[in-house]
Amino acid sequence: MTRKIIVLICLAIFTDYVCRAQTNSDSQTNLEESVSGVHLTITLSNNVIDAGSITIKAAIQNRSTNIIRLVEFPATTDFDVLLINGSGKSFKLTPPRPLGGSRVPIMLKPEERRDWVIPIAVGNELKPGEYVMKASRNFNANGKWFVMHSNSLKVSIK
Can you give the pLDDT at residue 104? Answer: 85
Can you give the pLDDT at residue 21? Answer: 30
What is the pairing mode between strands 129-141 and 68-72?
Answer: antiparallel
pLDDT tens per residue, range 113-146? 999 999 888 888 889 999 999 999 999 999 999 9
**pTM value?**
0.75
Can you give the pLDDT at residue 70? Answer: 93
List all residues 6 or more positions away from 71 whose beta carbon is below 8 Å from its beta carbon: 78, 103, 104, 105, 106, 138, 140
DSSP 105-158: EEEE-TT-EEEEEEEEEE-TTSPSEEEEEEEEEEEEETTEEEEEEB--EEEEE-
Quote the longest CA-to-CA distance of the chain. 49
Domains of the chain with CATH codes:
2-157 (2.60.40.3880)
Q: Which residues of the chain have pLDDT under 50?
A: 5-8, 10-30
Can you give the pLDDT at residue 5? Answer: 47
Q: First and final CA of the chain: distance in angstroms?
A: 42
Can you give the pLDDT at residue 7? Answer: 43
Can you give the pLDDT at residue 15? Answer: 36
